[in-house]
Amino acid sequence: MEISDQLLCLFSGNVEQRDDSYIVEVPEQELDIGAVTEGATYRVALLSDGSPAEPSTADTGTDQGDDRHEPDPPVDEGDRREVEIDAIGDQGDGITRVERGFVVVVPETDQGERVTIEITDVRQNVAFADVVERHDHFG
């Protein structure tokens, strides 16, 4: 699959029916780090998670609950990566993205800086890392 260079964020979510529309909720962190802006218009691509399609509650009339499995984060605590800081978030921390557009927050870095990081905390939609080595600065 080819991924556009225009990709701003990537996250897992559910499609929910509300009245005569279907809604995909964007995680608050995507607005916090500046990947998207409230009220702006974006193109949205929906990708299958690879599991067999299940009938929606609209089709069956029953509530299946929220037992869908989100993909595991592509990093683990202790992992080391060489990355380039893509942006600076509202809190002043560096932001980089790894596999599947997964966000890693790296404090005390500058946009364009190339660093080796060690993952210190992993959550479902974001990870945090410390700098272990600084490389050339491109910013």
* Structural domains for the chain: 80-137 (2.40.50.140)
Question: By the 8 A CB rule, do 75 and 104 touch?
Answer: yes
Q: What is the pLDDT of residue 71?
A: 81
pLDDT tens digits, residue range 77-102?
999 999 999 988 878 899 999 988 88
Can you say how many angstroms the Cα of residue 108 is from the centroid of all Cα atoms in its chain?
21
Phi/psi of residue 78, nearest 5 degrees: 95, -15
Residues facing residue 84 across a β-bridge: 114
Other Cβ atoms closer than 10 A to 34: 14
> 1-10, 14-23, 69-78, 91-100: which has the minimum mean pLDDT?
1-10
Question: pLDDT digits over 39-70, tens only?
Answer: 888 777 776 655 565 555 554 444 444 455 66
Q: How many CB atoms lie within 10 A of CB 27?
A: 17
Global model pTM greater than 0.75:
no
